[in-house]
Amino acid sequence: MIKWYQNVSNNEKKTFWACFSSWGLDTFVNQMFVIMIPTLTALFTITRSQLCLISACTLFTTALGGWFAGALSDRYGRVKTLQLMILWFAVATFMMAFVDNYYALLLSRALQGFAIGGEWAVGAVLMAETIRSQYRGKVMSLMQSGWAIGCALALLVCSLVTSLLPAHTAWRIIFVIGILPALLIFFIRRHVKEPEREITAPAVQIQSIRQALFGIFSPSLWRITILSSLLGLGAHGGYHTIVTWLPIYLRQERHFSMLHTSAYMMVIIVAFWCGCLVSAILVDKIGRRFNVVCFAVGTLITIRCYLFLPLSNEQMLLFGFPLGFFGAGIPATLGILFNELYPQQYRGAGVGFCYNFGRILAAFIPFLVNRMSVKMSLGTAIGIDASWAYALVVVSVLLLPETREGFKIDYLR
């Protein structure tokens, strides 16, 4: 697993740490918001419907941010755009610390979402174009494992701050800490180089943002874009259904204490990290598509057992491991697959749109779960919606071409 690190150049190593850190820090700040949802709900008297609106708006702006920032990187470069998105994210999070009502919180969260989508898309393309092809699968999966590190830090910081300060002050301090990702800009400016551009004919060179945005719908790419977008829809639909409602389900229906909830989150975090490591090994051995299928089927089976079987709280805690493990392999593979499906001049827009398009339609899933929970238990509603989402992942990825070297010509050098 570490052989690749010994064989790559200093620039490849520095780019990896920049992308890994930016994704980890973004997850760190984003997860702090998720952890503080119960506190914010009580302080601002937020209803379930209003919570759904926050989730929906964030998903929508994240999708727009991924597409727009990806196109911006096609036109002006990956490194400059990545710095812009990191700065945007830090400022939006800092603003969140000073909100005093629900609508200000909604606006700050929406602005934060735009930067989250843009940062991931640009960072994934930057890493894919910098690392040599024989290590791309491993490195891209390892980059995604930054999610686990960010989540663990968020859980640690939130637990520490809330134990030392009263609730009405703690959440503001936590969001002030969200300015930290901005420090990463100094490292990127000094140590990360822009990937070399492939020589393309003048007719296909990107001349404007409009060309970058809509080139992914050209006759040669529209089928790839549609199928990849459906894959993104399934992946995000399942993920955000679980992330949005699982904390509420654990507290309201299973009556988990804060201690149990924190222990459960740590199990999922460790499991996600392990899933990324296993995905890094499998993605080059069994191919991009089959790797996604295996992890999606594993998630589908686990979530149905998790929510529909009469498990005790201790069994649910243990079942969190396969849930986090299988959930990791899909996002860990999508960054590789989407990068390899698009030529360089449209890669940023393609990766940003397809990975994030699912967020737009997935924005309605929290509302759907809330609506369904009126006529059935919340756990049943979560299980049904997550199941169809991961089923869509399996179907759509099987309709896409395999991009692993030896199966299909690799667009990336």
CATH code at 10-194+207-398: 1.20.1250.20
CB 88 within 8 A of CB 26: no
Average pLDDT, the chain: 82
Assessment of whether the complete model's pTM goes beyond 0.85: no
pLDDT category at 293 given cuts 50, 70, 90 is: very high
Rg of the chain over Cα atoms, rounded to whole angstroms, equals 20
Handedness of CA 68, 70, 73, 74 (dihedral sign): negative
What sign for the dihedral angle of Cα 364, 295, 24, 349? Answer: negative
pLDDT of residue 394: 92
Query: Would you say 335 and 403 are in contact if contact means Cβ atoms under 8 Å apart?
Result: no
Compute CA 388 distance to the chain's CA centroid, rounded to the nearest angstrom.
19
Instruction: Look at residues 290, 305, 292 and name the one whose alpha carbon lies nearest to residue 333.
Output: 292
Q: What is the domain partition of the chain in residue ranges?
A: 10-194+207-398
Of the chain, the end-to-end C-alpha distance in Å amounts to 22
- What pLDDT, on a 0 to 100 scale, did the predictor assign at position 411? 43
Tens-place pLDDT, residues 52-64? 788 878 888 888 8
As a whole-number percent, the residues of the chain with pLDDT over 70 amount to 89
In 77-221, which ranges are continuous DSSP H helix? Answer: 78-96, 102-130, 136-144, 146-164, 167-176, 184-191, 209-214
Check residue 199 and give its pLDDT: 47
